[in-house]
A and B are shown apart, each in its own frame.
Chain A
Amino acid sequence: MLKRLTTLAATLLVSTALHAEPVAGGRANVVIQPEPPSLMMGLVQNGPTQMVAGNIYESLLRYDEKLQPMPQLATSWDVSEDGLTYTFHLHDDVKWHDGKPFTSADVVFSADVFLRETHTRLRASLEHVESITAPDDTTVVFKLKQPFGPFLGIFEAGTMPMIPKHIYEGTDYKNNPANNTPIGTGPFKFKEWVKGSHILLTRNEEYYEEGKPYLDEIYWHVIPDAASRAVAYETGVVDVLPGGSIENFDVQRIADMENTCVTDKGWEYFGPLSWMWLNNREGPTADKRFRQAVMYAMDRDFARDALWNGLGKVAAGPVSSSTRFFTEEVTKYDHDPEKAKALLAEMGYKGEPVRLLPLPYGETWQRWAEAVKQNLDEVGINVELVSTDVAGWNQKLAEWDYDMAFTYLYQYGDPALGVARNYVSTNIAKGSQWNNVEGYENKEIDDLFAKAAVAVTAEERQKLYTEAQQKLVDDVPVAWLLELGFPTIYRCNVKDLVTTAIGVNDGFKDAYIEK
């Protein structure tokens, strides 16, 4: 095992090789899994849609792996002293794929009209916005009602994609025929989509950044079976396997192939964090000592090494280490069965059965649940695995009919966007698997998150979030597992593929194939 892991680590190092002069031309063959329901990113934002359409649509900014904003459609931006006015200066020579010019009017339409109606996650952030105006063709001004710390983090392609006003204004967005032939400003244009077979994007010859993109085409292969996807890479049919497209157990074998690079970068914006919901309302899991015992009982290093090929990190708490305002200064929960047993003895746990729902997303998650059950069994917790399908799992969580349940969620770079929602008591409501499902209620935590979201300076926010993380980690409202590492596997001669915080989703703009 150790040897397997070190070779993988070595391949990871190789992937950050030296830079050379980019070469133009060539086609990238990429797996897309599963087939997206639509490519119209203003209407649909699930994983595969973002992965393909992130190269067609753009937003004002993009983000590096430290989540620092970089210019995209906006060349520069100013923030007023009081943190209430954000002014963006746009590129002046941008054209939509149909040749019409892109202007500030498109930005206002996209953010204020189109996405407010269609994009739930963005709508919540836009609650803080008082007005969006366009003083001239290349300037956009966002005025906020109160300071909103994560504001500069919402200009990512999947969060605020720019939608062409001249096509959508005044139409029925969901049924606009243009949804089938998406028009964006991005480096690649939509060419064709043969359902069940492939999606073809071609180079945008009139792209506003000199010389980019380098590739002529991106060919997304739809291959429904995991084993066949691995074989497609082995036989040279595809050159890029984005994170999560093959079973974890296959990663090592593929990574060992010649001219193959692996990276777990490119997920920083999403910061996928896995945990077990613990029902704080009833049963043994309602007792804080029981929840702490669960944390001490789990061998999370083993799970990472055996199930995730050593990729990813043991989670410190509710905030992923790639998300802003993460702190390490929290109580540590090492694998310590004795401590777990002591806590259980202290609370007088008598072996009442607890039900554990695995995540029905395939073999890795099933094995993981078995390993955790075994960890918990060994300190005397009586765990019963319950099998469900995806629909049953959704329903049980939404109805709070569980004791413990696996899950993982994205964080979108900022605790106010992707962390607070799971712990504040105002977000307890049946019917969703993304809110405060565990039923944790703590006035202090509510206040901390509320204050931190609107605090002006980063120092102030850090202080509040650090305090919130420390309190949460002591209370263990949920049992944090791992920061998931989704490896992107690609031929080493595909260069500069993963350079941003959303990786392959907008990576083909800079990518080139070395001959």
Chain B
Amino acid sequence: MADFWKRFCRNRGAVIGITILAVVVLVAVLAPLVFPQSPWRMVQRPFLPPFSMEQYPLGTDALGRNVMSGLAYGAQVSLLVGLVSTVAALLIGIPIGALAGYFGGWIDDALMRFTEFFQTVPSFALAIVLVAIFEPSIQSIIAAIAIVSWPPVARLVRGEVLSLRSREYIEAAILSGQTSAAIILRQVLPNTLSPIIVLASLMVATAILLESSLSFLGLGDPNMMSWGYMIGAARTVIRQAWWLSFFPGVAILLTVLALNLIGEGLNDALNPRLARRGK
């Protein structure tokens, strides 16, 4: 573990990334303590510019709502959607990829055709359709993001499993009479973990972007203050009030950048051979 940390920290970008992410997590966790009032509460006159009142450093929006408080609560929504939808996508993608890769033959064919079916539909368009059909809510958004983002997981896992499948220790396990389920769970999957972890960190970033895009288009959960919603609502007043779209935009940028940097760091740390070659 210590070794892993050392390798991770050798990548300076990854350290910056994890610092930013820590701040975002902290803000999300502390939001209800720092801003006990709802972020929807109209607290000051509308369109208060940033840095003009100490109490509302980032100004207020078209209804006089505190932008700072909106950002803090938005962090909660973004992280929640990012994590939950990624976990859900992994739960769909890993079993499909593992089964296809391990058993091969017609099972592989069937599962991969099914996966390709999802891959050929543009993922954002599919997400819009799904959310629109099921009425925008936090559950339908998470479900839609999970449904459009599992195919790459399945393909990655299948590839990894295919290459592990022919290793001698797997053959030994088969000969020793272990069941297929046991082999997949105990022998194969643990060895595919590192690429999955790297992919997952990038998927969280993509999920956050997807949620923001949906909210921007007005397909967010109308009861949740999210960054995408803030930008979408600010779009019509961008010429009067730049700060309404600027700050949430920066928040999305930093969070997604942080997750990408972390992904790269993880890749270095989990692939020691690759990392050493880089030196």
Contact = CB atoms under 8 A, between A and B. Distances in A.
A374 B218 CA distance: 19
Given A306-B64, A387-B135, A363 B42 contact: no
Interface of A: 1, 226-227, 247, 249-250, 253, 302, 306-307, 358, 363, 366-367, 369-371, 373-374, 377-378, 384-389, 392
B240 A387 contact: no
A352 B64 CA distance: 28
14 contacts: A226-B236, A250-B236, A253-B240, A306-B64, A363-B236, A366-B218, A367-B63, A370-B40, A370-B222, A377-B40, A387-B136, A388-B135, A389-B132, A392-B135
Interface string B35-71: 0001011100111000000000000001110000000
A392 B237 CA distance: 27
B109 to A, nearest CB: 40
B219 interface: yes
A307 B236 CA distance: 13
Contacts of B222: 358, 366, 369-370, 385-387
A357 to B, nearest CB: 10
A385 B40 CA distance: 12
A302 B38 CA distance: 18
A367 B38 contact: no
Contact of A387 (B38, B46, B63, B219): B219
A388 B136 CA distance: 8
B239 interface: yes
Contacts of B135: 386-388, 392
Contacts of A366: 218, 222, 233
B120 interface: no
Most A C-beta atoms less than 10 A away, residue of B40, B222, B233, B237: B222
A253 B233 contact: no
Q: Of residues A249, A250, A253, which shows the largest number of chain B Cβ atoms within 10 Å of its Cβ? A: A249
B63 A370 contact: yes
Nearest to A384: B223
Contacts of A385: 222-223
Given A306-B62, A374-B42, A389-B132, A363 B233 contact: yes
A507 B21 CA distance: 60
Nearest to B46: A306
A244 to B, nearest CB: 15
Contacts of B132: 389
B240 A249 contact: yes
Contacts of A307: 62-63
B233 A367 contact: yes
A378 B38 CA distance: 10
Nearest to B241: A249
Contact of B38 (A377, A388, A389): A377
A371 B223 contact: no
Interface of A is mostly: helix
B223 A374 contact: no
A363 B38 CA distance: 21
Nearest to B61: A367
Given A1-B47, A377-B38, A306 B63 contact: yes
B236 A1 contact: no
Nearest to B223: A385
B36 to A, nearest CB: 14
Nearest to A248: B236
Contacts of B239: 253
Given A384-B223, A388-B135, A389-B132, A373 B40 contact: yes
Contacts of B46: 1, 306
A389 B219 CA distance: 10
B218 A387 contact: yes
Contacts of A227: 236
B46 to A, nearest CB: 5
Given A358-B222, A369-B222, A370-B40, 17 more contacts: A1-B46, A226-B236, A227-B236, A249-B62, A249-B240, A250-B236, A253-B239, A306-B64, A363-B236, A366-B233, A370-B63, A374-B38, A374-B63, A384-B223, A385-B223, A387-B135, A389-B132
A253 B47 CA distance: 14
Contacts of A386: 135, 222
A363 B233 CA distance: 7
A226 B233 CA distance: 15
B160 to A, nearest CB: 40
Contacts of B40: 370, 373-374, 377
A302 to B, nearest CB: 7
Q: Which 3 A-B pairs have the closest CB atoms?
A: A385-B222, A387-B136, A249-B237
Contacts of B240: 249, 253
Contacts of A384: 223
Contacts of A370: 40, 63, 222
Of A227, A302, A363, A373, the most chain B CB neighbours within 10 A belong to A363
A249 B236 contact: yes
Contacts of B62: 249, 306-307, 367
A358 B40 CA distance: 16
Contacts of B38: 374, 377
B143 to A, nearest CB: 16
Contacts of B223: 384-385
Contacts of B219: 387
A141 B48 CA distance: 62
B127 to A, nearest CB: 15
A249 B237 CA distance: 6
A1 B236 CA distance: 18
A302 B42 contact: yes
A371 B233 contact: no
A351 B3 CA distance: 54
